[in-house]
Amino acid sequence: MKSVEVVIAGGDRLGELPLWCNRTNKLWWIDVRRPAIQCYDPSSGKHEYFALPAGFTVGSYVFRESGGMVLATNKGFFAYTPGGEMEFLVHPESDKSENRLNDGKCDRKGRYWCGSMLDTRREPQGTMYCLQPDLSYTSHFNEIVIPNSVSWSPDSKTMYFADTTRQIISQFDFDLDDGVVSNRRVFKDLTGNRGRPDGSAIDELGCIWNAEYAGGRVVRYAPDGRVLQEIKLPVTQVTCAGFGGKDLGTLYITTAAQNLSDEQKAAQPLAGALFAIDVGVKGIPESRFLG
C-alpha cells in the first residue's frame, strides 16, 4: 500500500464527507463549521470553495439526480447548487432550535438517511430520519448523541451506523424496497479506545472503512468485524473516508482542526487537511437523491 498524500492543506475546522461526483469528475466535501462546500479536480489540481450563508451549520449533503445537491443543516434540508442560492425544502425538527442535522447518505432507492443531534451539549437527543423523494420523511430510531457512518453493504441488505460519543458502530438489517431498518446489533465496540468512530465508506468487497476521530487513523473492517487494514494519519482528528477518482480507486480522507490547543496545532500543522491514498481496492458509487 502506498503512503498517504496531502491533497489540500486547507485547515478545515471540521472537514467531512468526501464524495465523488461522476458528472463533474470532482471530489466534493464540506467544512461543517465554517460552513462551506468544497471540491477538488484531480485532473487540474484546482480547489474550489463555496461559502454558505452565515448562521448555517452543514452536517452532510448528497448529490441530486435532477442536479445540484441537498444539504442537511441546522435549519433543515435545502436544495443547493454550488455558488447559487439555498432553497428550503423541509425541516423535521423545526421545533428544536438547538438541534442540527448531521451525517447522512442516500440509499439505492434515492432516499436520504440523515441523523440529527443536539449541537450544544452531548446528550442523546438525536433521531434518524429518512427523507423521501417527495420530501416527506419518516423517523426510525432516536436517542442518538452524534450520528455518523451511515452506509450500506453492496447488496443493500445491511446498513451501518455509528454513535460517535458512545463509540459503537452498529449494523441493521435493511429492507431496500420498504426503506426500513431492523435487528440492530453491535458491529464494533470501541469503548475505551482513544479513537471514536466517525464517517465511513464501503468498498467493492463489502468492507467498511471507518475514520476514527481523536484516533489518528482509518480502519478497514471485514463484514464480520475483523480488522483488515489500518491507515495512520499525521493528525488526530480524522473525520471521514470516501472513494474517488474516475475508477473509485483512491481513498480520500477528511480531517479537522477544531478544538486543538496551540501546542496541538503546532504538532499537527496538517490538521484539517484533505488526504488521499491508493489502498488497492475500489469503492462503489454513492447514490443520488431522487427528489
Mean pLDDT confidence for 26-48 = 97
Is residue 219 in some structural domain?
yes
Of the candidates 47, 16, 21, 37, the residue with the CA atom closest to the CA atom of residue 245: 21
CATH number at residue 39: 2.120.10.30
Is residue 69 in some structural domain?
yes
| Model pLDDT, residue 100 | 97
| Model pLDDT, residue 1 | 58
| Model pLDDT, residue 212 | 98
Is residue 189 in some structural domain?
yes
CB contact burial 130-167 (16+ within 10 A = b; e otherwise) = bbbeeeebeebeeebbbbbbbbbbeeeebbbbbbbbbb
pLDDT digits (tens, 9 = 90+) for 42-90: 999 999 999 999 999 999 999 999 999 999 999 999 999 999 999 999 9
Is residue 282 in some structural domain?
no
Is residue 262 in some structural domain?
yes
pLDDT digits (tens, 9 = 90+) for 100-139: 999 999 999 999 999 999 999 999 999 999 999 999 999 9
Domain total in the chain: 1
Q: Name the residues annotated as catalytic.
A: 198
Range of the domain at 256: 5-277
Question: What does the CA dihedral 90, 175, 184, 203 come to, rounded to 10 degrees?
Answer: -90
Is residue 283 in some structural domain?
no
In degrees, rounded to 5, the angle at the alpha carbon of residue 156 between the alpha carbons of residues 150 and 283 is 70
Question: What does the CA dihedral 235, 238, 243, 249 come to, rounded to 10 degrees?
Answer: 30
d(C-alpha 244, C-alpha 33), whole Å: 23
Helix, strand and coil content of the chain, in percent to the nearest 5, comes to 0, 55, 45
Is residue 288 in some structural domain?
no
| Model pLDDT, residue 2 | 75
pLDDT digits (tens, 9 = 90+) for 200-214: 999 999 999 999 999
Per the CB < 8 A criterion, the answer to whether 223 and 154 are in contact is: no
Residue 40: band (very low, low, confident or very high) from pLDDT cuts 50, 70, 90: very high
Is residue 291 in some structural domain?
no
Per the CB < 8 A criterion, the answer to whether 200 and 209 are in contact is: yes
Of the candidates 229, 219, 176, the residue with the CA atom closest to the CA atom of residue 196: 219
